[in-house]
Amino acid sequence: MSFTLSPDHEALRSAVREFAEAEIAPHAEEWDRDHHFPVHIVQEMGDLGLIGAIFDEEYGGGGGDFTSLCVAIEEVGRVDQSMGITLEAAVGLGINPIAEYGTPEQKAKWLPDLVAGRTMAAFGLTEPGGGSDAAGAIRTKAELDGDEWVINGSKAFITNSGTDITSVITAAALTDDDEISMIMVPAGNPGLTVEPGYNKLGWHASDTHGLVFEDCRVPADNLLGERGQGFHQFLATLDDGRIAIAALAVGLTQACLEQALEYAGTRQAFGRPVGSNQGIAFQLADLDVALESSRLLTYKAAALKDAGMPIKHAAARAKLHATETAVSATRVLTQVLGGYGFIEGGPATRFYRDAKILEIGEGTSEIQRLVLARGLGLPVL
């Protein structure tokens, strides 16, 4: 048993930290304020090999493990959660299902550009009628008409679906009454409308849109993998994604602890640093413990994934703990900063706004508890 990352993972961490601090951190406030999606960062993350880290070398990937992806997401997320989720969704939701379930022809067609960061893919599961009960809420239908699927329906909150470099959206659709399949819809396909971006509480520099399919026709070959496998495909995609979201949350908690420590050591009140008060110091001590437990749960889940072992329970544990810890961490940082923590322009307010979605996306905290309770054998509904 090892509780440390390998020298290769640590080297990757250093390289990503250097990149994130030089290329992302100085601009994060501006992108957040302007709701600007910096497409060049995606391309730089592609050039650095972060987007392709876990994919086959045959498609231009690095052939690395899932732990490497988590390290990269943690480090990008430490400076900017919007770019962290952009990376996480590009890989976990965009490329992963195609790499896992695509036919050789689909992989050859889409993966090289996606893996290089020249294009991005999105994953359309959630609908306006529901996300937690994704299977039960799917109303989007795809009917075969000759050698084409005709898709009708809509999707809500789809990350990376409307960028200038989005090339394909993999959408869940009913292909029969009780049959869910995933179908790949190229960006710009007639019958696909990308709605204007949402005005979100946080993740301002991340790209999120609703999608509408109206008699949207794509070739029958655009079925991802096998017909009727959509439920299995999206559940497995989400299990992986939950570990990656946990890594994003670890990055945020790490940033909050670092910034709170720095401020608590320098800000003076009553003639001494505010961190010399137990009321402040003990909050940071507790945060240190919570961060370490988030990190251990996250990298344990990633290690299980890399070992080819079952991950459902471990991914839910990691996601639940790491995301709830990140939300608490932003509250602690804001409190330690006092009035300055409430003023826009520094990272604290951005972190505070960005944190909440971690408890919602890719399965809410309630859904993680449901998965965990069921895993414990409880007959919970």
Ligand X SMILES: Cc1cc2nc3c(=O)[nH]c(=O)nc-3n(C[C@H](O)[C@H](O)[C@H](O)COP(=O)(O)OP(=O)(O)OC[C@H]3O[C@@H](n4cnc5c(N)ncnc54)[C@H](O)[C@@H]3O)c2cc1C
| CB-based closest residue to ligand X | 131
Does residue 37 bind ligand X (CB under 6 A)? no
Task: Mark residues 174-203: x for contact with ligand X by CB under 6 A, - for none.
Answer: --------------------------x--x
> How far apart are alpha carbons 253 and 262 in whole angstroms?
14
x/- track of binding to ligand X for residues 66-95 (CB under 6 A):
-----------------------x---x--
Q: Binding to ligand X by residue 168, rule CB under 6 A? A: no
By the rule CB under 6 A, 216 interacts with ligand X? no
**How far is residue 139's CA from residue 141's CA, in Å, rounded to a whole number?**
6
Write the burial class of residue 179 (CB in 10 Å: 0-12 exposed, 13-18 middle, 19+ buried): middle
Catalytic residues: 362
Closest CA to 297 of 332, 249, 252, 359: 249
Q: How far is the CB of 195 from ligand X (least distance, A)?
A: 13
Distance CA 10, CA 72 (A): 10
Q: Which is nearer to ligand X, 89 or 205 (CB)?
A: 89
Closest approach of ligand X to the CB of residue 126, in Å: 3
Q: Does 165 bind ligand X (CB under 6 A)?
A: no
Residue choice 364, 372, 373, 374 for contact with ligand X (CB under 6 A): 364
Task: Using the CB atoms, write b or e for 285-313: b if 16+ within 10 Å.
Answer: eebeebbeebbebbbbbbbbbbeeeebbb
For the stretch 298-302, contacts whose Cβ atoms lie closer than 8 Å and that sit 24 or more positions apart, written own/partner, are: 298/70, 298/74, 298/243, 298/246, 298/247, 298/249, 298/250, 298/322, 299/5, 299/67, 299/70, 301/242, 301/243, 301/246, 302/65, 302/66, 302/67, 302/69, 302/70, 302/243, 302/247
**What DSSP character marks residue 329?**
H
Of 205 and 314, nearer to ligand X (C-beta) is 205
Q: Shortest CA distance to 96 belongs to which of 59, 42, 133, 149?
A: 59
From the list 13-21, 120-128, 253-261, 266-274, the region that binds ligand X by CB under 6 A is 120-128
- What angle (nearest 5°) sits at the alpha carbon of residue 45, between those of residues 43 and 49? 115
Would you count residue 357 as binding ligand X (CB under 6 A)?
A: yes
Q: Which residue in 14, 132, 193, 266 binds ligand X (CB under 6 A)? A: 132
State in angstroms the smallest separation of the CB of 101 from ligand X: 16
Q: Give the interface segment with ligand X, choosing from 50-58, 127-135, 315-323, 327-335 (CB under 6 A).
A: 127-135
Which CB atom, from 204 or from 295, has the smaller least distance to ligand X?
204
Q: Between 236 and 360, name the residue whose CB sits nearer to ligand X.
A: 360
- Quick one: 259 or 330, whose CB is closer to ligand X? 330
The amino acid at residue 111 is L
C-alpha radius of gyration, the chain, whole number: 21
The residue among 240 and 362 lying less far from ligand X, judged by its C-beta, is: 362
Binding to ligand X by residue 208, rule CB under 6 A?
A: yes
**Residue in 123, 213, 299, 352 binding ligand X, rule: CB under 6 A:** 123
Tell me the closest approach of the beta carbon of residue 132 to ligand X, in angstroms: 3
Q: Measured from the CB atom, is 77 or 131 closer to ligand X? A: 131
Query: Which whole-number Å values give the CA distances from 189 to 93, 186, 341, 376, in the listed order?
Result: 20, 6, 45, 45
Q: Give least dist CB 111 to ligand X, A.
A: 19
Instruction: Give me the sign of the Cα torsion angle 91, 93, 96, 98.
Output: negative
Structure-block tokens of residue 193: 């409308």
Among 75, 354, 361, 371, which residue interacts with ligand X (rule: CB under 6 A)?
361
DSSP code, position 92 = I
Q: How far is the CB of 134 from ligand X (least distance, A)?
A: 7
Binding flag, residue 362, ligand X (CB under 6 A): yes
Binding site for ligand X (CB under 6 A): 89, 93, 122-126, 130-132, 157-159, 200, 203, 208, 357, 360-364, 366-367, 370
